[in-house]
Structure 1
């Protein structure tokens, strides 16, 4: 078995080691957190570059034309998710500043490592990639509206859209362009082809590195405030349990193929915590707890994603050649 096959077969174990190491560093050497925080963006860029290399651009162009998937992803993220978040937080008795952090992170769909997790679960990652521009634009426009609806005008006005734009350029545009250039190089050069083949082993180590630097950089921040924000952890866990099921039902009603169904699950459940964190840090005085609330979601979600890369293909959206369906429901095309 080659290195690439071994990594793919043992990826969950690799991630568990990375998480354990990150927890050890975050708790034992909290003074190293700023150094790890500086590594988050470059590690994410490498991860997404490696992920985009796994997606042939011919298939990516085809995915843009799949209006059914795009409509389902947007509908779940911007119509269903707000209702679910509102329901999950109705009986949450916490400081309103904590609620701001919860809403900011749960109402914004992920545009970066969701692609890698979808790929690792055997999902149709090019369809997730194709939806990222629309997801990015709509969350940029709708987050202030949702915050105004849930929290009032003052909170909505405090959100700066700049970090969203910067994140789209850094995490999507740059690695996607580099992957396209690499693919073009590989088509014209043996050296480029060897480079692209060598990069095939990179996604699992890059994901492990992402888990390591994110948790190690942010865990000290959470530890300092955990007694005040522990109440939101059940909300984050419940979101991880509810949204995959709702996405699976939607995929069944639409008769999606297995790969599409897995992609729909991951784009519906994964949140934009790494992009929202700068937004939370930019909030005015009085919102100091919001970043810790966002970071807590990051920690819960990363652990949940490792589990979902096994649960989704193994049970929720298992392999099969026929389109997905919902028991007891007759689908009409």
Structure 2
């Protein structure tokens, strides 16, 4: 598995090349955006499939019983994040449309590629996978409530379950089921086992393909309106900085293992932009700027994730030293 090790060691380089290609395509060939956009869900499904293949399903079953992590993820995403978002939006200009766009994307935790980012940072991806049904259901229930509180009842009424359910079935449930069948088949067939082993080097390249497809397809959406929505970029950047620190603090208070702590950091910071984008596109007349505001968060977040997959395991939450794992016991004086 030398290829896999090399890719993990140089993953930031792979992502940088993918982002550079995406920028070149997005700026140089904006007419390609629509056909490329049709690839987002299939590419995400493949990305999650190869990620799930790396998760032993016996550990995944155990993860469903970890109420402490699931409770922490829900509390961080639906109690702490709304407070942070409310505070950050106080710095926005008094523009209802901009506010709706920022709230729509920052109040919804990611349920798809966050699992891959967590895995690439050597976090507890199986625990995060087990938490995604709860994250999806609770955000569907609470997003209208938060929009009603922060904006008004007329905005809360436009939230629909369809995009959330479709994304969960196609991007989470289907790849997870296929990965389980592959793992079960690998125990019975050498050919399937060989297939699974060859797929083990794909998570990093598929993450690069995902970056390429998402950025190249969405960049043209924001090019013509960037002057109007540039005000949201600092808000998104501050969110990327603040939430990992809060995730680290909360997970440390709960005494979690380092893998769980990294997973909690990633679920606190990654947002559900690709799922809420259809909601943004379906908003009534007068809200045409909201999709560009959502897409801008995607572009900022993906750039930040390239950094966080390296910073979280090496700086923010490194593996404990031998002394930390086995503290020296000294006799009392």
Both proteins in one fold, TM over 0.5 = yes
Unmatched runs of 5 consecutive residues or more in structure 2:
326-333
Other-structure match for 1:204: 204
Q: 1:170 to 1:238 in 2, by over 3 A?
A: same
Unmatched runs of 5 consecutive residues or more in structure 1:
326-333
1:98-142 CA distance string (max 9 Å, x none): 111100100000000000000000101001001000000000100
Q: Aligned runs of 1:58-137 on 2, under 5 Å?
A: 58-137=58-137
Other-structure match for 1:247: 247
Match status 1:6 vs 2:22 = no
Other-structure match for 2:331: none
Displaced runs of 4+ in structure 1, greater than 2 A? 321-325
Other-structure match for 2:330: none
| SS of structure 2 residue aligned to 1:271 | coil
Aligned mates of 2:322, 2:242 — CA distance in 1: 25
Other-structure match for 2:233: 233
Other-structure match for 1:216: 216
CA drift of 1:85 comes to 0.1
- Range that drifts further, 231-240 or 278-287: 278-287
CA drift of 1:90 comes to 0.8
Count of aligned pairs between the two proteins: 325
Aligned mates of 1:305, 1:227 — CA distance in 2: 24
Q: Pairwise CA RMSD of aligned residues?
A: 1.4
Match status 1:159 vs 2:159 = yes
Aligned mates of 1:160, 1:72 — CA distance in 2: 26
CA drift of 1:22 comes to 0.2
TM-score, normalised via structure 2 length: 0.95
Aligned mates of 1:229, 1:149 — CA distance in 2: 23
Other-structure match for 1:183: 183
Match status 1:283 vs 2:253 = no
CA drift of 1:91 comes to 2.2
1:210-263 CA distance string (max 9 Å, x none): 000000000000111101100000000000000000010011101111111101
CA drift of 1:94 comes to 4.7
CA drift of 1:324 comes to 9.2
**1:77 touches 1:109 (CA, 8 Å); kept in 2?**
yes
CA drift of 1:159 comes to 1.9
Other-structure match for 2:328: none
Aligned mates of 1:246, 1:67 — CA distance in 2: 20
Aligned mates of 2:141, 2:207 — CA distance in 1: 30
Match status 1:313 vs 2:313 = yes
Aligned mates of 1:311, 1:81 — CA distance in 2: 21
**1:82 touches 1:107 (CA, 8 Å); kept in 2?**
yes
Q: 1:232 to 1:119 in 2, by over 3 A?
A: same
Aligned mates of 2:134, 2:119 — CA distance in 1: 20
| SS of structure 1 residue aligned to 2:39 | helix
